[in-house]
Amino acid sequence: MLERREFIKLLLQGIAAGNLLSFVTPRIKPALAAGEVQRTPVLMIETGSCTGDSVSLWHSWNPDFRYIISNVLEWRFDTTLMQSGGSKAFDLLMDTYEKDAYRYILIVQGSMVQRDNGNYNFIAYQEKESKYLNGLELVKLLAARAKYIVAIGTCATHGGPPSGYPNPSQSVGVQKILRDRKIINVTGCPAHADWTMGTLLHLALYGEPELDSFNRPKMFYGETIHDRCERRRFYDQGIFAVDVGQKECLYRVGCKGPVTFADCPVRFWHDRKNWPVSCNSPCIGCTEPSFPDTMSPFTASLPDIPFPGGTKVSTEVVGLSIFGASALAIIGHGVASLYNGRLQRNVLQSTTKGPHRYPVKKASAFHQYTLKSYTPGKNSSNKSAQPPN
Ligand code: SF4
Ligand code: F3S
């Protein structure tokens, strides 16, 4: 059987050269043939969502994907994909619930709509009891016997766009309604197919992967976008785009890469063709718990730069404090540039009046609260999150 370490290696190899599953599948086939791997049933429920995570998953729809979902996993129920519906589909769900208790993985795609006890989000019909079940009820029911619960997409992990201010549906992430269970959070708007499939494979073959403080698998969310961005050299030299669509660092037109953890710059999207910054659009921080409220307006620059150790400094004064020790702490990676003078020259140019002044769009008071003060799921009820009158 493929060792876990090797699996992680293949996962990284996939980053450099192609589809994750095409690297992993040939390596686990012998173990499957020898009966060393038991198939893990999967139930995929969709609640308050746009189906984006399914669409993203279908981008990896290839022979290897089909092989994995029918040999390593057993994709038993999928609200979006199934041909059957109504009570037949529901019976299948309950069959797994009864006969495969504590063996199946429950995947939830979409936010937990809480308003009026969840009754704006009916997703199943229990014929025997002539009862409609809403997202809250069905997720709570199935979670009770799930071995693992995986929330995919930022709606399911932290409420996502449906929970954005003023959150009329009172949406939250799954972890807010299942407080006594560990939820593995595969964030993203949507979640990348590799993040979802890699997490499921890890669960089926090796158990729980290493998680970060937001319960995201570290193998995908271990570094910031900024750490691996192809435009980092521009940032280090203080060369910033003044409009979306330009080729320089997109920090001043709203890039949230410095505070966003994901491997998009190396994994790429759309069958490894592109990713947001590469097509001249700022990262909007879609994998972070505070998305979208603290990440918008998407073209407003970050209100603060987080320093190692928790202190923050306004981006507007980066140029002015560039000679201070604090600036060295913020942009430790830019020290070399400091020595040769490019960084200070370019940043100063961008913060003083003149033909080269960059039009920094200030975040509104609504967006002044920082990622640090954000409490997942409380963004819409948090008093500090109220917009100014
Ligand atoms: Fe960092 Fe964004 Fe600039 Fe890339 S474009 S270097 S992620 S700020
Ligand atoms: Fe999302 Fe930023 Fe990647 S917006 S898709 S985390 S580049």
Ligand nearest to the CA of 250: 1
Cis peptide before 190 (omega within 30 of 0): yes
Q: Note the pLDDT of residue 224.
A: 95
Place of tokens 């201010």: 165
Amino acid letter, 143: A
pLDDT confidence band for 346 (50 / 70 / 90): very low
Ligand nearest to the CA of 241: 1
Interatomic CA distance for residues 104 and 87, integer angstroms: 20
**The ligand 1 atom nearest the CA atom of 232:** 6
Interatomic CA distance for residues 341 and 357, integer angstroms: 18
Q: Note the pLDDT of residue 182.
A: 97
Backbone angles phi and psi of 184, in degrees to 5:
-90, 120
Q: What is the mean pLDDT of the segment spanning 28-44?
A: 91
Q: Note the pLDDT of residue 219.
A: 95
Place of tokens 């730069």: 305
Question: Ligand 1 centroid to 319 CA: how many Å?
Answer: 17
- Residue 200, ligand 2, Cβ within 6 A: no
The residue among 292, 312, 291 whose CA lies nearest residue 303 is: 312
The alpha carbons of the chain give a radius of gyration, in whole angstroms, of 23
Torsion (CA) 94, 189, 210, 219 in degrees, nearest 10 = 130
Q: The whole model's pTM is what?
A: 0.80
Question: Ligand 1 centroid to 240 CA: how many Å?
Answer: 9
| CB atoms near residue 349 (< 10 Å) | 17
Q: What is the mean pLDDT of the segment spanning 130-140?
A: 95
Backbone angles phi and psi of 277, in degrees to 5:
-65, -35
| CB atoms near residue 354 (< 10 Å) | 7
Interatomic CA distance for residues 277 and 279, integer angstroms: 5
Q: Note the pLDDT of residue 303.
A: 60
**Which of 182-186, 228-232, 328-332 bottoms out in mean pLDDT, i.e. has the lowest?**
328-332
When mean pLDDT is compared over 99-103, 238-242, 299-303, the highest value belongs to 99-103
pLDDT confidence band for 2 (50 / 70 / 90): confident
pLDDT confidence band for 125 (50 / 70 / 90): confident
Question: Ligand 2 centroid to 129 CA: how many Å?
Answer: 44
Ligand nearest to the CA of 248: 1
Interatomic CA distance for residues 381 and 372, integer angstroms: 16
Q: What is the mean pLDDT of the segment spanning 231-247?
A: 92
